[in-house]
Amino acid sequence: MNDAAPIGVFDSGVGGLSVLAELRRALPDERFCYLADTAHLPYGTRSDDDIRRLTEAAARWLHGRGCKALVVACNTASAYGLQHLRGTFPEWPVVGLVPAVKPAALNTRSGVIGVMATPATLRGSKLQQSVAEWAAPRGVQVMLTTSPKLVPLVERGEADSPDARALLRQLLRPLAEAGADQLVLGCTHYPFLSGSIRREFKDQFTLVDSGGAVARQTARVLAERGLLAPAAEPSSTPQPSSPQPTSLQLASPQVEYYVTGDPQAAQQIMLQLLGETVTVRAARVNASLGQSSAQRLPGGTDCTMTKDSTQETATSGYVDTDQQAEITEGMQGATGDADANGLDPKADPQEKLAELEKNMQDIQQ
């Protein structure tokens, strides 16, 4: 494997740009190839088989382009495809992510944390495993909330819109009223909603995501395999000073952007999110989807799990930490059998979340 080759970064859409930004900060000498499967967005309401098939197709495309490693910058794809990818590409470093329950459980002062994720991520076994390992032993109450409308809002460039804020009020008010002081952003699209969350809830929640931890883990994996890119030679010519990049804007041009859908539409959204003009190209990815590609989970209902409790809230900031042992290469326990927890992916969303709530109560007892 060539250490000068790019790192492949994959998401269902533009959400993975939040992880890519952390990767570029942590690994400034690396090149990246970003692939967004916008033709099949969103993943969060798809069947388990579809998610695995689409994830493998994207990985094969990036592998074929000579990427030296893969970062699955999508919680849903990680939940259902990570173990499958590591079995399919045993010699290829693959780093994924799971909702950051650990730091939320360790840092809560009220004893109540919220997890906002896609329907597919919520029904996956990895979230329940994280709750059982980190929240339940500490007596931390976990509240879950989801809506299939959040990802499309970000993809349309409406993360700061009145519609986004109204939806977030609906989803997060029960968590705030129950005293949750930590909010796990369990989808890589959701950091782009942080401004709207702050406007609606001020400092009620500490927002926790896995982007920085994934970047640090990627650096460790590459170092262990001798795949870190050589450091750039310092220039002997004095360079004019320039302001530090803000938000997700970064000075390095070492990224190629590809989408499976409309490049022009994606370019406009990326310009808005990144604060810089990028070139977006079309990628022809053979997903080889059968009949199951048309299957969707019921996606018209917004759901929040609530419990009758109130807690004192704590002050908050925006944090990410080296929280998840599960993001390491060779992650144990991600079987890819997302329905091993006994949840029916075709069930009504309200019924699914009610069953998830019961499972969480059983775990926390």
Indicate if the pLDDT at residue 185 is higher than 90. yes
Q: What is the pLDDT of residues 35-50, one digit of tens each?
A: 999 999 999 999 999 9
Lowest mean pLDDT among 262-266, 288-292, 350-354: 288-292
3-state secondary structure 92-119: CCEECCCCCHHHHHHHCCCCEEEEEECH
Give residue 338's pLDDT band: very low, low, confident or very high (50, 70, 90). very low
Contact yes or no for 173/144 (Cβ under 8 A): no
Indicate if the pLDDT at residue 176 is higher than 60. yes
Indicate if the pLDDT at residue 293 is higher than 90. no
Give residue 1's pLDDT band: very low, low, confident or very high (50, 70, 90). confident
Indicate if the pLDDT at residue 296 is higher than 80. no
Q: What is the pLDDT of residues 243-278, one digit of tens each?
A: 444 344 444 458 999 999 999 999 999 999 998 889
Q: Name the residues annotated as catalytic.
A: 74, 187
Check the annotation: does 188 bind a ligand: yes
Check the annotation: does 11 bind a ligand: yes
Give residue 359's pLDDT band: very low, low, confident or very high (50, 70, 90). low
Q: Which two tokens stand for residue 135?
A: 């929240």
What pLDDT was estimated at residue 250?
Answer: 44
Query: How far is it, in rounded angstroms, from Cα 205 to Cα 193?
Result: 13
Average pLDDT for 113-120: 96
Average pLDDT for 80-98: 94
- Go through the chain and tell me how many residues it has: 365
CATH of domain 7-97+211-231+251-293: 3.40.50.1860
Lowest mean pLDDT among 96-105, 141-150, 207-216, 300-309: 300-309
The CATH topology of domain 101-210+296-323+330-364 is: Rossmann fold (3.40.50)
As to burial, measured by CB atoms within 10 angstroms (0-12 exposed, 13-18 middle, 19+ buried), residue 269 is buried
Residue span(s) of the chain under CATH 3.40.50.1860 come to: 7-97+211-231+251-293, 101-210+296-323+330-364
Q: What percent of the chain has pLDDT over 90?
A: 67
Average pLDDT for 127-156: 95
Check the annotation: does 76 bind a ligand: yes
What pLDDT was estimated at residue 312?
Answer: 27
What pLDDT was estimated at residue 89?
Answer: 96
What pLDDT was estimated at residue 307?
Answer: 30
Query: How far is it, in rounded angstroms, from Cα 172 to Cα 168?
Result: 6
Check the annotation: does 189 bind a ligand: yes
Query: Nearest Cα to 83, choosing from 322, 290, 329, 325?
Result: 329
What pLDDT was estimated at residue 286?
Answer: 87
More confident residue, 333 or 17: 17
Q: What is the pLDDT of residues 55-73, one digit of tens each?
A: 999 999 999 999 999 999 9
Give residue 352's pLDDT band: very low, low, confident or very high (50, 70, 90). low
Give residue 232's pLDDT band: very low, low, confident or very high (50, 70, 90). confident
What pLDDT was estimated at residue 353?
Answer: 57
3-state secondary structure the chain: CCCCCCEEEEECCHHHHHHHHHHHHHCCCCCEEEEECHHHCCCCCECHHHHHHHHHHHHHHHHHCCCCEEEECCHHHHHHHHHHHHHHCCCCCEECCCCCHHHHHHHCCCCEEEEEECHHHHHCHHHHHHHHHHHHHHCCEEEEEECCCHHHHHHCCCCCCHHHHHHHHHHHHHHHHCCCCEEEEECCCHHHHHHHHHHHHCCCCEEECCHHHHHHHHHHHHHHCCCCCCCCCCCCCCCCCCCCCCCCCCCCCCEEEEECCCHHHHHHHHHHHHCCCCCEEECCCCCCCCHHHHCECCCCCCEECCCCCCCCCCCCCEECCCCCHHHCCCCCCCCCCCCCCCCCCCCCHHHHHHHHHHHHHHHHC
Indicate if the pLDDT at residue 306 is higher than 60. no
Q: What is the pLDDT of residues 206-225, one digit of tens each?
A: 999 999 999 999 999 999 99
